[in-house]
């Protein structure tokens, strides 16, 4: 069974001092990975990770995840090999096909069909693998939800990331996949792996470490109204309860789904810290 790993995806831009403080806090709180998202209006991934490397000593640094459609694949491979060198080999490369249509339109990039977006992802991975031909490349994380992306990830990725969202989640309120739907996606990947070993990652969307578990589940239900409190209580992407209860939940998720690497978004950076303490 793989050991736990915990990552945080930082999203908010700010001053140099604010960014350095956030990265150091993540390391001090016991996180294993500091990542950055790739969305318009958020922090720019490459310079942010360079600064994160200077501000920290231990944590791995990842792109969680780069939108392959936003980057020329040849130039992206060049930038990532440089980032790998300048971060002292702590880089982990995360890529996805992109899912927010409004951002494509704002950037003047063709949205295209799902097949076209997938093809851009495939080319980006191909160029990265070409750039590292004959030498070890950083661990590659590929994330998504659909069959095509997950099957490709099962063939190429060291880490396979599950969004935990339902179809159409990018275009409206938060829509989480239910417990059965998430388990089906994990089973699909395990079959596609065909015995090949890969780390499984899950994005946790809601964290509350509290003695009032029922009240926290009701709060989650208001944010995700299409799932009842009972379903949310069984959902691996919703982590609520005491630090020990949350730790036990993550252990069950590792045992039942095989997920050992969990990521939270920046707003839950401090919330998950007591759980990390319980598991380390």
Query: What is the predicted pLDDT for the residue at 223?
Result: 87
Chain centroid offset of residue 163 CA: 7
Q: Give first-to-last CA distance, the chain, whole Å.
A: 15
SS3 of 142, please?
strand
Fold topology of 5-203+253-267: TIM Barrel (3.20.20)
Handedness of CA 157, 171, 73, 119 (dihedral sign): positive
The residues spanned by each domain of the chain are 5-203+253-267
pLDDT at 172 over 90: no
pLDDT tens-digit map of 179-214: 999 999 999 999 999 999 999 999 999 999 999 899
Which residue, 43, 3, 17, is CA-closest to 266?
43
Q: What is the mean pLDDT of the chain?
A: 95
pTM comes to 0.96
CA distance 95 to 180: 26
CA distance 192 to 111: 28
pLDDT, residue 171, reads 55
Nearest by Cα to 144 from 109, 111, 112, 177:
177
Model pLDDT for residues 124-154, shown as the tens digit of each residue: 999 999 999 999 999 999 999 999 999 999 9
């Amino acid at each position: 069974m793989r050991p736990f790993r915990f990552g945080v995806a930082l999203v908010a831009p700010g001053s140099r001092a604010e960014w350095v403080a956030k990265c150091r806090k993540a390391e001090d709180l016991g996180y294993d990975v500091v990542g950055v998202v790739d969305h318009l209006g958020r922090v720019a991934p490459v310079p942010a990770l360079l600064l994160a490397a200077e501000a920290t000593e231990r944590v791995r640094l990842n792109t969680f995840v780069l939108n392959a459609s936003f980057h020329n694949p040849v130039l992206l491979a060049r930038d990532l090999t440089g980032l790998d060198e300048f971060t002292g080999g702590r880089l982990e490369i995360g890529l996805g096909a992109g899912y927010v249509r409004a951002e494509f339109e704002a950037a003047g990039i063709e949205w295209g069909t799902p097949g076209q977006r997938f093809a851009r992802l495939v080319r980006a991975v191909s160029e990265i693998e070409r750039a590292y031909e004959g030498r070890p490349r950083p661990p590659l994380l590929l994330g998504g939800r659909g069959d095509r992306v997950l099957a490709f990830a099962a063939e190429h990725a060291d880490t396979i990331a599950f969004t935990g969202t339902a179809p159409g989640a990018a275009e409206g309120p938060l829509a989480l996949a239910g417990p059965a739907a998430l388990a089906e996606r994990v089973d699909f990947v395990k079959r596609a792996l065909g015995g090949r070993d890969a780390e499984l990652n899950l994005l946790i969307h809601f964290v509350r470490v509290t003695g009032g578990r029922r009240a926290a589940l009701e709060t989650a239900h208001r944010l995700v109204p299409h799932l009842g409190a009972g379903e949310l209580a069984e959902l691996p992407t919703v982590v609520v309860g005491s630090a020990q209860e949350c730790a036990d939940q993550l252990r069950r998720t590792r045992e039942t789904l095989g997920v050992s690497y969990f990521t939270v978004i920046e707003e839950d950076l401090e919330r998950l810290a007591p759980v990390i303490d319980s598991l380390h």
